């Protein structure tokens, strides 16, 4: 292999030895340049699922797990967990355990939020991380789910976000968890009218 003199080196130093040395140094950075080019082209709008989840980890908003029961409309809601109604005995089962167990809540049963909702919310979370929680930011997050909503304040100066239509338990869960992470004072409470 013939090593040609490099046009960027000074003429008095130019030759095959210094050119070979320069090529060896450049080859050490090929992987870093490829990574730099990859990261430069990466964005929330175009990222694939795994890439988007990694961006979410960097931003500080990992993709939420939504409990299975929240994708059903036949629910009893006690505190933060939904329970589907059982035809035989309401919403519990009784077996050898004292007091019985809940029928439809299984450990580890959960689903990731929809990737496109996550993509859209991730843009808003990045904006909030940069500029803080503002009414404009809350407005933009609410528009991700529905355009029929009102923003009000309660007697404690906390924000009440009420959706005019039924946005579903999944979306109430996602928004509630999002605002638990982002808005500590004032707090943002989500309601969905039927």
Q: Can you give the pLDDT at residue 106?
A: 44
**Torsions phi, psi of 6, nearest 5?**
-90, 130
For the full predicted model, state whether its pTM sits above 0.85.
no
| Mean pLDDT, rounded, for 47-62 | 90
Res. 70 pLDDT band, cuts 50 70 90: low
Task: Give the span between the Cα atoms of 187 and 25, in whole angstroms.
Answer: 54
| Mean pLDDT, rounded, for 71-100 | 46
Q: Can you give the pLDDT at residue 85?
A: 44
Q: Can you give the pLDDT at residue 113?
A: 81
The two structure tokens encoding residue 146: 């529905």
- Give which of 121, 134, 193, 191 is closest to 161, Cα–Cα: 191
Could you tell me which residues are beta bridge partners of residue 188?
A: 159
Q: Can you give the pLDDT at residue 192?
A: 86
Say what percent of the chain tops pLDDT 70. Answer: 73
Collapsing DSSP states into helix, strand and coil, what is residue 148?
coil
CB 141 within 8 A of CB 96: no
pLDDT score of 99 more than 70:
no
pLDDT score of 96 more than 50:
no
pLDDT digits (tens, 9 = 90+) for 15-26: 777 777 778 888
CA dihedral sign of residues 112, 116, 117, 120? positive
Q: Can you give the pLDDT at residue 2?
A: 59
Res. 163 pLDDT band, cuts 50 70 90: very high
Res. 150 pLDDT band, cuts 50 70 90: very high
**Torsions phi, psi of 21, nearest 5?**
-65, -45
Strands 159-163 and 188-192, by their bridges, are parallel
pLDDT score of 88 more than 50:
no
């Amino acid at each position: 292999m013939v090593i040609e003199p490099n046009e960027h080196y000074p003429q008095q130093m130019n030759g095959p030895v210094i050119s070979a040395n320069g090529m060896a140094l450049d080859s050490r950075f090929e992987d870093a340049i490829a990574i730099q080019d990859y990261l430069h082209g990466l964005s929330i709008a175009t990222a694939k699922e795994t890439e988007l989840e990694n961006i979410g980890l960097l931003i500080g908003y990992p993709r939420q797990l939504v409990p299975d029961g929240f994708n059903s409309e036949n629910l009893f809601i006690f505190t933060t967990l939904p329970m589907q109604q059982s035809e035989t005995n309401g919403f519990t089962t009784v077996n050898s355990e004292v007091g019985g167990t809940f029928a439809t809540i299984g450990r580890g049963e959960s689903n990731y939020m929809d990737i496109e909702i996550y993509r859209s919310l991730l843009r808003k979370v990045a904006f909030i991380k940069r500029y803080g929680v503002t009414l404009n930011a809350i407005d933009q997050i609410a528009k991700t789910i529905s355009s029929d909503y009102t923003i009000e304040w309660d007697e404690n100066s906390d924000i009440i976000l009420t959706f005019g239509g039924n946005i579903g338990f999944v979306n109430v869960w996602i928004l509630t968890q999002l605002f638990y992470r982002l808005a500590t004072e004032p707090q943002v409470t989500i309601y969905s009218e039927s």
